[in-house]
Structure 1
Amino acid sequence: MSSDAPPDPYDNPVAFGQRVQIYRNRRGMTREQLAGLLGHHASWVKKVETGSIGMPRLPEILRIAEVLRVRRLNDLVGDVGAEPHTDLFLGPGHDRLPAVRAALSAYPAPGTREAPTKAYLRAALDAAWAARHGAPNHREIIGRLLPGLLRDAQLGVRQADTASDRRAALALQAETFFLAQFFVAYQPDPSLLWRVAERGMVAAQESEDLHVIGVAAWLAAQAHRDSGPGHYDEADELVMQALRLLEPGLPDAPLDVQAITGALRAEAGITAAKRRDTGTAWGWWDRAGGVSRQLPADYFHRVTSFGRAVMGAHGVTVAVELRAGRESVRQANQAETDAIPSRPRRARHRIEQARAYYLDGQRETALAALEQAHAAAPETIRYNGYARSIVLEETASRVPERRQRASRLAVDIGMLAA
């Protein structure tokens, strides 16, 4: 390693402040950006990084870890004695992840078997999406289905006889990658997530299917945004390119194209909220709502969950990312959670509600929302970094009841041994 290479934050001698600076730089953030997200002045961040002030208390450390998307608490604070690593923002790794990874890396030999019909693969994908939205253990089910779906979709593309058949097969293959991206997200293999996102985008573009291209852009934009502020511009550019493609034909577009257009607008709002651009964030949210009101009342997009029922959930996320405590609670209180037909999306909304209540200092209500999230879809909260952060912080609460509730949740979601 060259002498001017940045230090590795895993090395024990690296102080807490240095680790903060390393991770901040890796995320492409300025001190001003980090300070804004933490509710401090840039001078405070400088004092932390230079060691002018000591290591903050646990709640502040957890907020720093959340913003910097640090996977393990020990990666930020160092290995204190012989304490075990505490996972934070990436899930523990699903038992079926190795099989899914192997399927994504496999290239079956030509002629090994005949590809299933497009009608068969379409029905199989429909069943997989229904299972994802309806099952509390959705990752287990999808992880079991994905290896076969990935293999069948690949065979369909390779054995297509005409250009038209190939485009149709590519659209189906892109959709299997979309399903895979939901499975691999927030698991301890970021490179696999990017591989899936890129393959989905390539297959979508080659399919020339407007709806599929829109979904690929929606998922890829999320992957960029989750990589940190240094990648917000890429997320926005993907969304804007897709909207420029979709919006001219919106008045006469099929329902699925209308829905992905609305979902993309909502994503633009969330990215703007992460930038603390209040007017732009709510403007995009309102434009997304305009699309949702043109859809049938019970419409539900099988990939993005977009529809009228989810707009309240998007409102909570926008307010939370803007760090608007009162507004986030107002949005959380008025959102109709039970109207969201997808169990994992409903659980994710409960987690966003918990973030809103926590931001407003309503910690008991936040824990109650997390308990509801666990009841709706245990595998969603198990892999959600925000939920794990709140639970971990509350296990150290000075209030016995909160500490006990958080400890039970920590056991339930696999953070602590029973």
Structure 2
Amino acid sequence: MSNATNEPLGPVLTVGQRIQFLRERRGMTREVLAGLVGKSTSWLKQVETGRLQQNPRLPILLQLAEALRVRDLSELTGDQSMPVRMFSGPGHPALEDVRAAINSTSLVPAGTVQPLTTLRARLDAAWQVRHSSPDHRTALGQLLPGLLRDVQLAAAMYRDTDRRRALALLAETYGLAQMFLAYQPAQDLLWRVADRALVAAQESEDPLALTCAVWFLAQAHRDTGDFDAARDINQQGMAAVQPHLDDAGVELLAMWGALSFELAFTSARLGDTGDAWLHWEEAARIAERLPATYYQPWTSFSQVIMGAHAVTIAVELHQGGESARQADNALSAPIPSRPRRGRHLIEVARAHHLQRDHTAVLGTLELAQHVAPDTIKYNGYARRLTLELTEGPASLRPQAHTLADRIGLLA
């Protein structure tokens, strides 16, 4: 954070005062910030007003830092320099190659344009790699730079109907790039692809491309804590494609279900229990209309994912008993995507954490590391839970340190 603004974050402020200042500067209520870190509003008020005898412990400070979007814990503590990226994941080695490809759009495009059928096949293959590889980010990092350049070139050089088809492919390719950029120290790049995807989808006049772009953009807004914007773009996207639902194919219907669940997720992050479960039920009804074996490659929306989604809703609402029940029901769900199964296992670990079942948390995180090492390595929730376990029950600390080493926390 720059000091050029002369903001009053000098060492005279307490940790609580720093938290309050940063929260108010982001326009965030106590209720929202407390919910993001799994605490009550009264607890946060006690922290900010200095009524707690001790400052929050490191794992909670890290959650606060992520929610408030600060890069260094010294902005919260005043006396400790520790980059937050240590706990949200390091930058992937392929990040700069992906960045260069995204930024390579030329005002005077030139080169050999590949047939749209070839680009479609390459994009389908990239999605398949993303779902089947345990090191999916590494695999995508090898494919994305060339794919991005070629699809961007096609969108610039094709004309008329072919251009609109190329733009739909481009919007989807940017969505795949956003999957790579998730949990990376590249928020500027993530927003660039999210915004470009929406523009490309709108120009393509393809309802399916539009729903895909809206889904990714809503996630970007929600992950930065702008829940109103997330819900607004989500609802706008659904209104835009609703006229096409009467003759919708399976893909568009699945995207409608995925957007319905996104409303549930956003409501849960806001602590709105009624709306969260209402939208989840709407999404579940749509999932039942899909073929039993269908699995949407962009969003994972399907019948099989609804149990995992229920775990996420319960966890975000901090419903300990319900999240544990949903986790038990969905733990063995045959999710065909390795990274999505890894993400689900991390959510199950969060459910066990709400129940203070440290042994189950550690065991589930170890399973997630086995299933999808590239997912847990960059997932902020998993890294924070692992860090907390290294300071947890003495009997679990050696095992927790081994896991921490595997996911790069001790590097």
Unaligned runs of 5+ in 2: none
Separation of aligned partners in 2, 1:39 and 1:344:
25
Separation of aligned partners in 1, 2:382 and 2:125:
29
- For the residue of structure 2 that corresponds to 1:327, the secondary structure is helix
Q: What amino acid is aligned across from residue 165 of structure 2 in structure 1?
A: A
Residue of structure 2 aligned with 1:367, choices 362, 369, 387: 362
Q: What amino acid is aligned across from residue 95 of structure 1 in structure 2?
A: P
- Alignment match, 1:56: 56
- Which one is further off, 326-335 or 250-259? 250-259
Q: What amino acid is aligned across from residue 146 of structure 2 in structure 1?
A: G
- For the residue of structure 1 that corresponds to 2:305, the secondary structure is helix
Residue of structure 2 aligned with 1:306, choices 294, 298, 301: 301
When the two structures are aligned, how many residues end up with a matched partner?
409
Q: 1:123 to 1:3 in 2, by over 3 A?
A: closer
Residue 87 of structure 1, CA deviation: 3.4
Residue 59 of structure 1, CA deviation: 4.9
Q: What amino acid is aligned across from residue 91 of structure 1 in structure 2?
A: G
- Alignment match, 1:141: 139
- For the residue of structure 2 that corresponds to 1:305, the secondary structure is coil
Residue 251 of structure 1, CA deviation: 4.2
Q: 1:39 to 1:115 in 2, by over 3 A?
A: closer
Q: Deviations over 1:267-289 (max 9, x none)?
A: 10011111111111111001101
Question: Is 1:6 matched up with 2:1?
Answer: no
Residue of structure 2 aligned with 1:357, choices 348, 352, 362: 352
- TM-score (normalised: structure 1): 0.91
Residue 5 of structure 1, CA deviation: 4.7
> Does the 8 Å contact 2:62/2:87 carry over to 1?
no
Separation of aligned partners in 2, 1:85 and 1:354:
25
Q: Deviations over 1:355-380 (max 9, x none)?
A: 00101111110111111111111111
Residue 298 of structure 1, CA deviation: 0.6
> Does the 8 Å contact 1:70/1:88 carry over to 2?
no
- Which one is further off, 25-34 or 39-48? 39-48
> Does the 8 Å contact 2:331/2:348 carry over to 1?
no
- Alignment match, 1:30: 29
- For the residue of structure 2 that corresponds to 1:193, the secondary structure is helix
> Does the 8 Å contact 1:255/1:295 carry over to 2?
yes
Residue of structure 2 aligned with 1:189, choices 186, 191, 194: 186
Question: Is 1:396 matched up with 2:394?
Answer: no
Residue of structure 2 aligned with 1:271, choices 234, 242, 266: 266
Separation of aligned partners in 2, 1:346 and 1:288:
19
Q: 1:29 to 1:181 in 2, by over 3 A?
A: same
- Alignment match, 2:151: 153
Q: Deviations over 1:98-119 (max 9, x none)?
A: 1111111113474642110101
Question: Is 1:218 matched up with 2:215?
Answer: yes
- Alignment match, 2:280: 285
Q: What amino acid is aligned across from residue 411 of structure 1 in structure 2?
A: D
Residue 36 of structure 1, CA deviation: 4.9
- For the residue of structure 1 that corresponds to 2:142, the secondary structure is helix
- For the residue of structure 2 that corresponds to 1:339, the secondary structure is coil
- For the residue of structure 1 that corresponds to 2:298, the secondary structure is coil
Separation of aligned partners in 1, 2:319 and 2:154:
49
Separation of aligned partners in 2, 1:160 and 1:59:
51
> Does the 8 Å contact 2:89/2:184 carry over to 1?
yes
- For the residue of structure 1 that corresponds to 2:386, the secondary structure is helix
> Does the 8 Å contact 1:300/1:307 carry over to 2?
yes
Q: Deviations over 1:25-76 (max 9, x none)?
A: 3443112433455565645434422434441334543453454455554543
Separation of aligned partners in 1, 2:376 and 2:330:
19
Q: What amino acid is aligned across from residue 7 of structure 2 in structure 1?
A: P
Separation of aligned partners in 2, 1:371 and 1:40:
26
Residue of structure 2 aligned with 1:345, choices 340, 343, 348: 340
Question: Is 1:18 matched up with 2:12?
Answer: no
Separation of aligned partners in 2, 1:33 and 1:108:
42
Q: Deviations over 1:197-238 (max 9, x none)?
A: 00011001110110110011011000000111xx11111111
Question: Is 1:407 matched up with 2:401?
Answer: yes
> Does the 8 Å contact 1:300/1:306 carry over to 2?
yes
Separation of aligned partners in 1, 2:114 and 2:402:
46
Q: What amino acid is aligned across from residue 103 of structure 1 in structure 2?
A: A
Unaligned runs of 5+ in 1: none
The alignment yields a C-alpha RMSD, in angstroms, of 2.3
Q: Deviations over 1:226-255 (max 9, x none)?
A: 111xx1111111111121123343243111
Separation of aligned partners in 1, 2:107 and 2:234:
37
> Does the 8 Å contact 2:311/2:348 carry over to 1?
yes
Q: What amino acid is aligned across from residue 270 of structure 2 in structure 1?
A: R
Separation of aligned partners in 1, 2:283 and 2:157:
39
> Does the 8 Å contact 1:90/1:186 carry over to 2?
yes
> Does the 8 Å contact 2:33/2:67 carry over to 1?
yes
Q: What amino acid is aligned across from residue 33 of structure 2 in structure 1?
A: L
Q: What amino acid is aligned across from residue 105 of structure 1 in structure 2?
A: N
- Which one is further off, 114-123 or 27-36? 27-36
- Alignment match, 1:416: 410
> Does the 8 Å contact 1:62/1:393 carry over to 2?
no
- TM-score (normalised: structure 2): 0.93
Task: Percent identity, please.
Answer: 49
Question: Is 1:204 matched up with 2:201?
Answer: yes
Q: 1:296 to 1:72 in 2, by over 3 A?
A: farther
- Which one is further off, 331-340 or 195-204? 331-340
Residue 336 of structure 1, CA deviation: 5.0
Question: Is 1:76 matched up with 2:70?
Answer: no
Q: 1:291 to 1:146 in 2, by over 3 A?
A: same
Q: 1:413 to 1:36 in 2, by over 3 A?
A: closer
